[in-house]
Amino acid sequence: MKKYLIIKMPSYSQERPALATGQLAITFINKAPSTFSMKITEMSLENRPRERLEREGSRSLSDAELIAIILKSGTKKENVLEISHKLLAKYGTQGLIHCSVQELAEEYGVGKAKSCQLVALCEFAKRLSFHSPEKQVIKEAQDVVNFYQLKLRDLQKEHFLALYLDTKHKLIAEEIITVGILNASLIHPREVFHAAIKHLAKAVIVLHNHPSGDPEPSKEDLLVTKKLEKTGEILGIDFLDHIIIGKETWWSWRESRVLS
């Protein structure tokens, strides 16, 4: 009686008959799987995102690990960390913040429920960062930039804001004057200084973003600034500055005057 030794391989393998009498017949993998993904539960405890969060704190986690905790689970083909890395590779951190539910739901392994979780969390984070710094003393342009750059730099439309200060230059109110392309004919000093009178403000600072990312002032920007400066002189309300927020840098009318 002929005997053969068969070494069993994973379920996707197929057995081949022995090559010859007395020879060892071994099963071969006919086709390897297209992807092989380790489940999060198969990872060592010290490398799992949630356990690392508990042990080392949130600051020690990468962006992908934080997203993985939000998404909770992956698929049979990709674990949740791999899905998180793919999302960041495609959209980037800032791009992900501005994604819609529909966009994320179309991504493999995300779906509608998880996309809603991500979008809701991103919106909450934006609202926290957009909180107005009321009662904060504003001494220079950098103080304004510290509060508003994160809020304005990634907006796709120009937002023109006015900040109203008391006699000690504490912020008492913020108003959005216009949203859209900045045009000197549309930014009337009345709209800016009416709110200044309403809030009993002693000083005004205006600022807006450039969606292009370049904070260099346009002719329209400079024209608006001159009109506001003259109106402030007439009303006895100090026009302190016009600040333009770019992607990474910013421009200040007052500081540019000092430097020039």
List CB contacts of 32: < 8 A, sequence separation 6 or more: 12
Query: Would you state the pLDDT for residue 29?
Result: 34
Asked if pLDDT for residue 184 goes beyond 80, the answer is no
Whole-number average pLDDT of the chain: 81
Assign 246 a pLDDT band (cuts: 50, 70, 90).
Answer: very high
Q: What is the C-alpha to C-alpha distance for residues 97 and 125, in angstroms, rounded to an integer?
A: 9
Angle at 210 between CA 103 and CA 207, to 5 degrees: 120
DSSP string, 132-191: --TT-B--SHHHHHHHHHHHHTT-SS-EEEEEEE-TT-BEEEEEEEEESS--TTT--HHH
Please, what are the domains in the chain? 1-33 (no CATH), 42-129 (1.10.150), 141-259 (3.40.140.10)
Q: What is the C-alpha to C-alpha distance for residues 247 and 153, in angstroms, rounded to an integer?
A: 5
Query: Would you state the pLDDT for residue 108?
Result: 85
H-helix or E-strand spanning residue 16 = none
Query: Would you state the pLDDT for residue 181?
Result: 65
Mean pLDDT across the stretch 128-139? 70
How far is residue 131 from each of residues 35, 127, 135, 180, measured CA to CA in Å? 45, 6, 12, 22
pLDDT by residue (tens digit) across 111-131? 899 989 988 988 887 776 655
Q: Are 131 and 150 in contact (CB under 8 A)?
A: no
* Range from 26-35, 103-112, 195-204, 239-248 carrying the lowest mean pLDDT: 26-35
Query: Would you state the pLDDT for residue 131?
Result: 58
Query: Would you state the pLDDT for residue 199?
Result: 94
Asked if pLDDT for residue 50 goes beyond 90, the answer is no
pLDDT by residue (tens digit) across 72-94? 888 888 888 899 999 999 988 87
Query: Would you state the pLDDT for residue 186?
Result: 62
Q: Give 101: exposed, middle or buried? Use CB within 10 Å, 0-12, 13-18, 19+.
A: middle
Mean pLDDT across the stretch 176-200? 83
Q: What is the C-alpha to C-alpha distance for residues 227 and 110, in angstroms, rounded to an integer?
A: 51
* Range from 98-102, 140-144, 218-222, 231-235 carrying the lowest mean pLDDT: 98-102
Q: pTM value?
A: 0.56
Query: What token pair was written down for 222?
Result: 């400079």
Assign 258 a pLDDT band (cuts: 50, 70, 90).
Answer: low
Assign 49 a pLDDT band (cuts: 50, 70, 90).
Answer: confident
Q: Give 154: exposed, middle or buried? Use CB within 10 Å, 0-12, 13-18, 19+.
A: middle
Query: Would you state the pLDDT for residue 20?
Result: 45
Query: Would you state the pLDDT for residue 14?
Result: 44
Q: What is the C-alpha to C-alpha distance for residues 70 and 90, in angstroms, rounded to an integer?
A: 18
Q: Where are the alpha helices (DSSP H) in 39-110?
A: 49-56, 63-71, 80-97, 101-105
Q: What is the C-alpha to C-alpha distance for residues 151 and 124, in angstroms, rounded to an integer?
A: 13
